[in-house]
Amino acid sequence: MTAVSLPPSLIPTLPGRYYTDPEIFAREQSRIFETMWFCAARSSDLPNPGSFRSARVGRESVLVVRGRDGALRAFLNICRHRGATLCTQESGEVKRAFQCMYHAWTYGLDGKLIAAPNLTKMPDLDRTEYGLVRVHLREWLGYAWVCLADEPPSFETDVMGAVTERLGTATAVDAYGIEGLSVGKRITYDVRANWKLIVENFMECYHCATIHPELTEVLPEFAGGYAAQYYVGHGAEFGEEINGFTVDGSEGFAKLPGVTDEQDRRYYAATIKPQVFLNLVPDHIIFHRMYPLAADRTVVECDWLYSADVVASDRDISRSVELFHRVNLQDFEACERCQPSMSSRAYARGGVLVPSEHHIGAFHDWVTDRIGRAEQ
Ligand code: FES
Ligand SMILES: [Fe+2]
């Protein structure tokens, strides 16, 4: 990748163009986001039959819909007649069907074509052939994950396996009962940075001492630069004086019922490639989903999940939310500060990773394995 030889402490990053080149981004869309499991929506955002949510997955718009039978299904958000986008709203609810605004082809919540003007004049049209195009969907942790591949990769290996690999056991995440939690707060960040800069940032804590004063106060070991993601099964311990995972270290809420003594007073994190970050603390979960929209733009939707009691009781979650909201703002500002430099000649051959960041090299290898290496 680089002609310059590096001392053993340093390994190279990807060259700058991997973060700016629309052609590389297009390859990431087709070979990463359109082939892997992609977390599209929180299931509870679709409470009733007819509730829908659209999400951009790679180059496609995917519609997630709750059916009359209560099940979630996903479809390409495209009318089968002449291709109009079926739902232009990001979310909403229809009564019993989706009607295309162009010539009024109408689809049931299960995607079947149920009506079209002059249908009786087309007796040879097989309605079952002209339903919405189905997309694979799985629910896990209370989220709907979709996959555009004809033959999806194993959900158990790619998605559940990523969490097991990080937390050390398959049951560690179950303890938090994430599927049953309620969304206490959601903040959407429009980040002017390539999605890989955001993943890389999340994977390392070399920056924690510099940009995250509140977080390092709560998790003192982060000041040393080694993130929870560096070790398998390791949770960073709260500082002695810290009572909860809050912006000022004040008390949070009761630990979630399944959380073990070993997990108490600790922060765990996992990256589920390509676009989810999971943060676990005893009384809540911070769940990030990234929607890469362009080489230099990524929308990040972040949910703060609490027990249903906490959310229903109207208790003040602001100090709890504020901690990771600040972390997010601090991280995204750093990513946005790097993005313009990616096209500089100073970064044409990339930068370097120090030992506490070396595991990011494996992420770079994973990306280039999937999309192929770009010409220098
Ligand atoms: S494009 Fe949808 S009905 Fe014609
Ligand atoms: Fe950070």
Supply the DSSP string of 110-156, one letter for each residue.
Answer: TS-EEE-TTGGG-TT--GGGGSPPEEEEEEETTEEEEE-SSSPPPHI
Helix (H) or strand (E) holding 236: strand 236-237
Residues 6+ apart with CB under 8 A from 245: 218, 238, 252, 267, 281, 282, 283, 284, 320, 323
Give 96 Cα–ligand 1 centroid separation in angstroms. Answer: 18
Q: Is 102 in the pocket of ligand 1 (CB under 6 A)?
A: yes
Domain residues for the domain of 49 are 37-147
Residues 6+ apart with CB under 8 A from 125: 119
Euclidean distance between CA atoms 89 and 277, whole angstroms: 26
Pinpoint the alpha helices (H) of the chain: 22-28, 155, 161-167, 195-203, 208-211, 213-218, 308-312, 318-338, 359-371
Ligand showing the shortest atom-to-Cα distance for residue 331: 2
Q: What end-to-end distance do the CA atoms of the chain give, in Å? A: 8
Whole-structure pTM value: 0.95
Give 322 Cα–ligand 2 centroid separation in angstroms. Answer: 14
What's residue 334's pLDDT?
98
The answer to whether position 2 is within a domain reads no
- 254, 202: one domain: yes
What's residue 2's pLDDT?
47
Residue nearest to atom 1 of ligand 1 (CA): 82
- 141, 224: one domain: no
- 235, 348: one domain: yes
- 45, 19: one domain: no
- 354, 240: one domain: yes
Contact 109, 168 (CB under 8 A): no
- 88, 209: one domain: no
Give 82 Cα–ligand 1 centroid separation in angstroms. Answer: 5
The pLDDT profile of the chain, 376 residues, written as one tens digit per residue, is 445 689 999 999 999 999 999 999 999 999 999 999 999 999 999 999 999 999 999 999 999 999 999 999 999 999 999 999 999 999 999 999 999 999 999 999 999 999 999 988 999 998 889 999 999 999 999 999 999 999 999 999 999 999 999 999 989 999 999 999 999 999 999 999 999 999 999 999 999 999 999 999 999 999 887 765 557 788 999 999 999 999 999 999 999 999 999 999 999 999 999 999 999 999 999 999 999 999 999 999 999 999 999 999 989 999 999 999 999 999 999 999 999 999 999 999 999 999 999 999 999 999 999 998 876 5
Q: Which of 116, 147, 178 is the last residue of a domain?
A: 147
Ligand showing the shortest atom-to-Cα distance for residue 113: 1
Q: What is the token pair recorded at 39?
A: 């977390």
- 71, 185: one domain: no
The CA distances from residue 206 to 113, 251, 289, 366, in Å, are 54, 27, 23, 21
The answer to whether position 160 is within a domain reads no
Q: Is 107 in the pocket of ligand 1 (CB under 6 A)?
A: no
Give 273 Cα–ligand 1 centroid separation in angstroms. Answer: 36
Cα-trace Rg, the chain: 22
The CATH number of whichever domain residue 59 belongs to comes to: 2.102.10.10
- 323, 349: one domain: yes
